């Protein structure tokens, strides 16, 4: 599946984040790209990443810039074949109190990525989205829902030349700033938990790379690809990571859901089960866009009426042993 990257130039926005750093290493170890461009706005993180990846100077290019800056994206995307758009502001409570910052980066920045990709004739552009975009109740989720919408609809602008799709997934073990990282680095004393019944989807960083590979190899334009991943109650996660510590219930934070959704009932109407993944087809008519490419998904199983993929009604669950095993994989 990594043949898609052979002799290609790949650019990753937000390339110094958890996904970007891991995916760059994955590409260096498993693919033969012509060039990998890490596009981000943090010069310190770029410097640190350069130090970690010494020996790959011929393949790597570090490009300082912000997705809010269309002109900078235009320059960065010149002669790029594949763009993976992972740049985003993500901290839910912070964005509830700084909403327009999220709008500028997650929505307007995504539109800038689309415009630059179309103008520079990038062949494939893939958005990294989140379960919080499905039935959003917080600002972060709403901005990512909008990012998904503009990515899907933008396939009408350069049909057959620049195709755009998205992947959507839940919490990632081993990602920077995650609740797992916070717990493992916490000191003695009570552990704060927002609600004893709260559930979340979980997957490893390696699983996100496989999802991105699947999407890039299969995308026609306008799809949202969703992995089948297990759930876990946060109270069980805490017991697995910090056993014996007192759990203190502090209440749900601003913008936080009790349970997350990856596929809604409405999306299931145009969804298919592809084995390891679900695919949600677009609900817009692109007019002159060639929709026949979606016929291949009909080989999968059409999702039943009323189906929804939600963390509290998921059929697959993680126990204490599972989470510890996955954490070893994530390290």
**Active-site positions?**
132
For residues 201 and 311, is the Cβ–Cβ distance under 8 A? yes
Please answer whether residues 316 and 276 qualify as being in contact, where contact means their C-beta atoms are separated by less than 8 angstroms: no
| Residues 6+ positions from 123 with CB-CB distance below 8 Å | 81, 82, 161, 162, 163
Strand pairing class (224-227; 277-280): antiparallel
DSSP β-ladder status, 124-130 and 199-204: unpaired
Sheet of 199-204, strands arranged across: 171-173, 199-204, 231-233
Please state whether beta strands 261-263 and 309-310 pair in parallel, antiparallel, or not at all (unpaired). Answer: antiparallel
Distance separating alpha carbons of residues 145 and 136, to the nearest angstrom: 7
Q: What is the DSSP string of 41-80?
A: S-HHHHHHHHHHTTT-TTTEEEEE--TT-HHHHHHHTTT-
DSSP three-state, residue 309:
strand
CA distances 156 to 152, 164, 291, Å, are 9, 10, 11
Tell me the C-alpha distance between 114 and 111, whole Å.
5
What letter would DSSP give residue 138?
A: S
| Cα–Cα separations (whole angstroms), residue 207 to 49, 202, 276, 305 | 22, 10, 11, 28
């Amino acid at each position: 599946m990594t043949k898609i990257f052979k002799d290609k130039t790949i650019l990753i926005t937000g390339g110094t984040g958890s996904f970007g750093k891991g995916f760059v290493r994955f590409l260096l170890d498993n693919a033969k790209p012509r060039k990998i461009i890490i596009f981000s706005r943090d010069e310190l993180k770029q410097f640190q990443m350069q130090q970690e990846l010494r020996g790959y100077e011929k393949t790597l290019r570090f490009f300082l810039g912000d997705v809010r800056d269309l002109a900078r994206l235009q320059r960065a995307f010149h002669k790029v074949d594949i763009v993976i758009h992972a740049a985003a502001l993500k901290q839910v409570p912070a964005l509830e109190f700084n909403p327009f910052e999220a709008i500028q980066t997650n929505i307007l920045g995504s539109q800038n990525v689309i415009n630059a990709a179309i103008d520079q004739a990038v062949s494939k552009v893939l958005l990294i989205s989140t379960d919080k975009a499905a039935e959003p109740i917080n600002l972060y989720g709403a901005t990512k829902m909008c990012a998904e919408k503009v990515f899907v609809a933008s396939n009408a602008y350069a049909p057959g030349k620049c195709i755009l799709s998205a992947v959507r997934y839940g919490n990632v073990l081993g990602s920077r700033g995650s609740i797992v990282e916070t717990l493992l680095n916490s000191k003695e004393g009570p552990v704060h938990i927002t609600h004893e019944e709260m559930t979340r989807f979980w997957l490893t960083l390696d699983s996100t790379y496989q999802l991105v590979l699947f999407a890039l190899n299969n995308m026609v334009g306008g799809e949202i690809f969703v992995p089948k991943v297990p759930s876990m109650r946060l109270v069980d996660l805490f017991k697995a990571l910090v056993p014996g510590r007192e759990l203190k219930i502090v209440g749900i934070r601003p913008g936080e859901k009790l349970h997350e959704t990856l596929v809604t009932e409405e999306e299931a109407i145009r969804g298919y089960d592809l084995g390891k993944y679900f695919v949600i087809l677009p609900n817009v008519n692109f007019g002159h866009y060639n929709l026949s490419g979606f016929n291949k998904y009909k080989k999968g199983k059409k999702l039943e009426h009323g189906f929804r993929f939600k963390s509290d009604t998921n059929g697959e669950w993680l126990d204490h042993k599972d989470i510890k095993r996955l954490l070893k994989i994530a390290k």
